[in-house]
Chains A and B, each alone.
Chain A
Amino acid sequence: MAAWPESTRLIGSSIPRLDGLAKASGRAKYPSDIRPEGMLFGVILSSPYASAKVKSIDLEPARKMPGVKAVLAMAQPGETTIYYQGQEIAAVAAETEEKARDAARAIKVEYEILPHVVTERQSSAPDAPKVFNNGNYRAGRAQTAGKPDEAMQKADVVIEATYELPVITHVCLEPHGLTAEWKGSDSITAYASTQSVMTVANDMVQTFGVPASNVTVLTEVMGGGFGSKFNADAWGIAAARLAKDAGRPVRMFLDRAQEHMIAGNRPSAKAHVKLGATADGKLAAMIAETSGTGGRSPSNFPLPYVYHVANRSRTHTEISVNCGGARAMRAPGHPQGCAVMEAAMDDLADKLGMNPLEFRLKNLAETDPVGGGINRTELYHEQIERGAKLIGWERWKPRGQNGDGPIVRGLGMALHQWGGGGAQDKQVACIINPDGSVELRSATQDIGTGARTILAVIAAEVLGLEVGQIKSNIGNSTFPPGQSSGGSTTTPSMAPPCLNAVTQARDELFQKLAPGLNCAVDDLTLSGGKLLVKGEEKMTWEQACRKLGVMPINTIGRFGPGLSSIGVGGCQFAEVTVDIETGVVRLKKIVAVQDTGLILDMLTWKSQIYGGVIGGLNYGMFEERIMDEGTGVMLNPDMEMYKLAGATDIPEIIVDAYDTPEMRKRGVIGVGEPPTISTAAAIGNAVANAIGVRVPKWPMSPMNVLNALAAKEGKA
């Protein structure tokens, strides 16, 4: 088994991504751009109601419309219950998108409208209609350790507070969907915007009963998933059905409103927390009642988080609402758990009269509950020290001492951790052709993380070539099994088999060449595009490969222990100003100190961290799904009233790679998720520090800030 090279030429340097120019020049073809010959346009008809029974569907008016080639009912009259606005009713394929939309609109659907509950408040009100068979909410059993009640009584200082985070949606810029093309009656190709070509392929196999060997799912590039794009989904299957009926390829991508309503979301979180400590700042007890909604999907989140509370009890209640189901979203559960825990920590530190940084250091858990049991205590100490320096924590002042207004300033911090780690059953093929071209193949995909590029970096490093000489061929379900892009597992799953495949291929090449060169295999090395014998240049890479005759080298690499590891964390700091007259929060600066593992490409690594921070910044400052209790509809299913940061909202962001020799020894780790976890928490703490009172509800919108200020003045 191969090991990561001790000294590296490419690994860890800043290498522009392989597909960057194609993307930046508009030439890259995304799944939603691909237009096979004869392609039709598909449209999904969505339910306008949040809760209803479908009584009848008349597809005929749609069928009769000009340009319509296939129509499909997705709901069954008399059977289908509508659980959320946007739920699929029917699908149409037509010659143009305009005509398909008209046709979908022409479908006659009779609904029996039922009462709905679309907010947690509405769902759990005492007189709420029971709209779900198993009730609107389910209280879990208390998870208890130690003696929380007793310990709480003995605690010197106790805070009691309620914190809330809203449902947010993924807002992938490329909508969910695929283009389906049948080749004959039992062979299908799908161009899918997905985080898992293999899962989409499997969905097609399962649904249509076609041989797995006849299904190809292609994702050359794709426009964002963030955890919401693993399956073919009802609309992808509908596209394939319509394509079959019409005998022509069908492109089916959701519209923006459907994206918000049915393509996934991050569950809300509400936590009523009692947290107690001894006078010298040791956590003594936590009693938490939490709840959340993911539509009808789970909403749980880790709590306590990062810190050790010996005596604790926690009960989580799942609340169902008539809204689209939650899906994994960038570090599922962690941003919520982090915000709740870190808010409580800050509030308690304030009551204790302690610097919240010191208070945190005193209470770190020695076993990392999610990161493979790593003791992160020391790591956190060092990372916090670095972060504190970068943000200027020495300027920190207690709440209420940050200016008389109207503009006040505040600092906040938060810690995060994540598991990640690599799957051990993935493969990469490495092909060295006699013409010197090198190709890597695997059924993984690049969702914007740089996966394609890092595989090529590894190959180029081992073969002494330039990154551009490697064809990194991924995003094809028919290639050797690759990892789904989720859970920050792609790099730790794929880098080891890639290193092994390329190392084996190189060794095979050496074995073939050595006899002809009258040298031992061990005498051969590759560097700067040349083959070296005992350190002396013998021939070019191309000349060496030509000696293969007509037979390429083709190896399959598998996972190897020690090349990647599990467990990743970091800390973040935020500096804000708040106008206490308008409630407007401005971000001044964010510092993110992040575990690195062995960095493969510094440029794409940094982009991951910036991207995570900006995702967290959106969660902290802007994002919120707003449901209308009266009508049951989403009020902001767009990109105007569903707020996301634009260029002028971006503060100075400092990314600090915690890149130590020990870190590198761990091998590669994934960092897609960790850096997005603690940003919203740090921002919330900075706002509290600035205005002297906790804003208990995210996002830190003017309304939530003003409400908190009013509550402080007793005017709530």
Chain B
Amino acid sequence: MAENDSRSPNGPGDHSRRNFLRGSGLAAASAVLTSQATAALAEAEAQVASAEPQVLSGDVNLTLMVNGKDMSCVVEPRSTLLDTLRNRLDVTGPKRVCDRASCGACTVILNGDPVYSCTTLAVSCQGKKIETVESFDTGENGVPHAFHQHDALMCGYCTPGFVTACKAWLDRHPGKEPTLEDVKRGLDGNICRCGTYIGVFEAALAVAKNQKGV
């Protein structure tokens, strides 16, 4: 079912719907629960029960592990991961475009999962592994190289998000050579206004093929 999760940064990920239900609190409100969602809910409840509730206010000292480095800054509890990266830590690969989880330009990889950093709180990311586009291999086997070669970018403002979504998809499907349909679904959580999709599809297919051959 996650395959149909249009406009989710998790794309055709394996448990995106479950994460979504957990993350949004919708599970608790929903009257009709699939067995998968019920399991997710139970898991979430267990997590909540085991964790002490924490109330944060004012300025918070925060250390985030970004691209393998510990980075410290002061944020507010409401500060998003995106704004923290961009405004406090000068990690400006992820872009702020819609700021409402609709466009994917802010996508980062959090503990292996692609997430929209514009709708993720920075304080919730402590102790997690944050990977942004800046950390990706820029060599010939990397996703950025493929985007460059296939001109999968014009103004390039959406590009870090597409590259990140693409990298996350490949990481989650090692050795799989995707079809064009797979690629389209995998990148359906991202929007490009310049209209570079054709190049993006070519780049994604090429890099998958290339990596499979490695």
Interface residues of A (CB under 8 A from B): 16-17, 19-21, 23-30, 32-33, 35, 41, 96-98, 171-175, 221-224, 226, 255-256, 447-450, 603-604, 606-608, 610-615, 617, 638-640, 644-648, 650, 653
Q: Shortest Cβ distance from A260 into chain B, in angstroms?
A: 11
Q: What is the bound-complex CA distance between A17 and B144, given in angstroms?
A: 13
**Which candidate, B18-26, B27-35, B128-136, is the interface stretch facing chain A?**
B128-136
Rounded to whole angstroms, the CA-CA distance of A607 and B152 in the bound complex is 8
B52 to chain A, nearest CB (A): 26
* B196 with A607: CB separation less than 8 A: yes
Q: Tell me whether A611 and B195 are in contact in the complex, defined as CB-CB below 8 angstroms, given that A17-B151, A35-B90, A639-B97 are known contacts.
A: yes
Query: Closest chain B residue to A20 by CB distance?
Result: B148
Specify which chain A residues have a CB less than 8 angstroms from the CB of B157 in the assembled complex.
Answer: 30, 172-174, 223-224
Closest chain A CB from B169 CB (angstroms): 11
| Residues 1-41 of B at the A interface (beta carbon under 8 Å) | 6-7
Q: Are A16 and B151 in contact (CB under 8 A)?
A: yes
Is chain B's binding surface mostly helix, strand, loop or mixed?
A: loop
Q: Which residues of B sit under 8 angstroms from A650, Cβ to Cβ? A: 184, 197-198, 201
Total interface residues in chain B, CB < 8 Å: 61
Q: A26-B160, A98-B79, A638-B100 are in contact. List 10 more A-B contacts (CB 8 A).
A: A23-B159, A25-B134, A25-B163, A26-B94, A26-B133, A30-B157, A223-B155, A450-B154, A647-B188, A650-B197
Given contacts A224-B194, A448-B154, contact A24 B98 (CB under 8 A): no
User: CA separation between A705 and B121, bound complex, in Å?
Assistant: 41
**Contacts known (A24-B156, A607-B196, A653-B198); A648 close to B185, Cβ less than 8 A:** yes
Residue interface mask B177-214, A partner, CB < 8 A = 1: 00000011101111111111111110000000000000
How many Å from the CB of B120 to the closest CB on chain A? 15
Across the interface, B154 reaches (CB within 8 A) one of A28, A611, A653, namely A611
Expressed in whole angstroms, the Cα–Cα distance for A32 and B192 within the complex equals: 18
Once the chains are docked, how many angstroms separate the CA of A541 from the CA of B144? 31
Considering only CB atoms, which chain B residue lies closest to A450 in the complex? Answer: B154
Closest chain-B Cβ to A20's Cβ sits at a distance in Å of 4
Alpha-carbon distance between A563 and B185 when the two chains are bound, in angstroms = 44
Residue of A with least CB distance to B88: A96
Q: Do B133 and A613 touch (CB < 8 A)?
A: no
Q: Contacts A97-B83, A98-B79 known; A221 to B155 CB distance under 8 Å?
A: yes
Q: Whose C-beta in chain A lies nearest to the C-beta of B104?
A: A646
Q: How distant is A125 from chain B, measured CB to nearest CB, in Å?
A: 34
B111 interface residue (CB < 8 Å to A): no
B92 touches A172 (CB 8 A): no
What are 21 A-B contacts defined by CB distance under 8 Å? Answer: A21-B138, A24-B133, A173-B95, A173-B105, A173-B158, A174-B155, A224-B155, A448-B154, A450-B154, A604-B151, A607-B154, A607-B199, A638-B98, A638-B100, A639-B103, A640-B98, A645-B197, A646-B188, A646-B190, A648-B6, A650-B197
Q: Which residue of B lies closest to A22 (CB)?
A: B156
| CB-based contact B196/A610 at 8 Å | yes
Beyond A25-B136, A610-B195, whether A647 also contacts B185 by CB under 8 A is yes
- Quote the shortest CB–CB distance from B38 to chain A (angstroms): 28
Q: Which 6 A-B pairs have the closest CB atoms?
A: A26-B93, A614-B195, A223-B157, A448-B155, A23-B156, A448-B154
Instruction: Please judge, given known A-B contacts A97-B83, A603-B151, whether A610 and B199 are in contact too, CB under 8 Å.
Output: yes
Q: Contacts A26-B94, A256-B97, A647-B183; is A98 near B154 (CB within 8 Å)?
A: no
Report if A16-B154 is in contact (Cβ < 8 Å); known contacts: A174-B95, A448-B194: no
**A30 — which chain B residues lie within 8 A by C-beta?**
92, 95, 157
Asked whether, in the complex, the Cβ of B86 is within 8 Å of the Cβ of A173, the reply is no
Partner of B98, one of A256, A450, A614: A256
A615 and B195: CB pair below 8 A?
yes
Residues of B within 8 A of A171 (CB): 193
Cα–Cα, bound, A97→B195 (Å): 30
Chain A, residue nearest B152 (CB): A24
User: Chain B residues with Cβ under 8 A from A647's Cβ?
Assistant: 183-185, 187-188, 190, 197, 200-201
User: Chain A residues with Cβ under 8 A from B100's Cβ?
Assistant: 256, 638-640
Nearest A residue to B79 via CB reads A98
Chain B: CB-nearest residue to A601? B151
In the complex, the answer to whether B92 meets A29 with C-beta atoms within 8 Å is yes
Judge whether B156 and A97 touch: CB under 8 Å.
Answer: no
Determine whether the beta carbon of B193 is less than 8 Å from that of A644: yes
Nearest CB of chain B from residue A588's CB, rounded to whole Å:
14
B153 CB-CB contact with A under 8 Å: yes
Chain A residues with CB below 8 A from B7, complex form: 646
- Give A97 to B82 CA distance when docked, in angstroms: 12
Q: Which of B36-94 contact A (CB under 8 A)?
A: 76, 78-79, 83, 86-87, 90, 92-94
With both beta carbons as reference points, the residue of chain A lying nearest to B200 in the complex is identified as: A647
B188: chain A residues within 8 A (beta carbon): 646-648
Chain B residues whose C-beta falls within 8 Å of the C-beta of A17 in the assembled complex: 148, 151, 153
Q: For A96, what are the chain B residues with a Cβ–Cβ distance below 8 Å?
A: 76, 79, 87
Given A173-B103, A224-B193, A256-B100, A648 and B184 touching (CB < 8 A)?
Answer: yes
Q: Is the CB of A611 within 8 A of B163?
A: no
Q: Which residues of A contact B149 (CB under 8 A)?
A: 16
Residue of B nearest to A29 (CB): B92
The answer for the CA separation of A611 and B185 in the assembled complex, in Å, is: 20
Which residues of the partner chain A approach B189 to less than 8 Å between Cβ atoms?
Answer: 646
User: What residues of chain B lie closer than 8 Å to A175, measured between beta carbons?
Assistant: 97
User: Nearest B residue to A255 by beta-carbon distance?
Assistant: B99
Contact A646 B193 (CB under 8 A): no
List of B residues within 8 angstroms of A27 by Cβ: 93, 134
Say which residue of B95, B145, B151, B193 sits within 8 Å of A606 (CB atoms): B151
Residues of B within 8 A of A449 (CB): 154
Residue among B79, B92, B149 with max Cβ neighbours from chain A (10 Å): B92
Looking across the interface, which residue of chain B has its beta carbon closest to that of A17?
B151
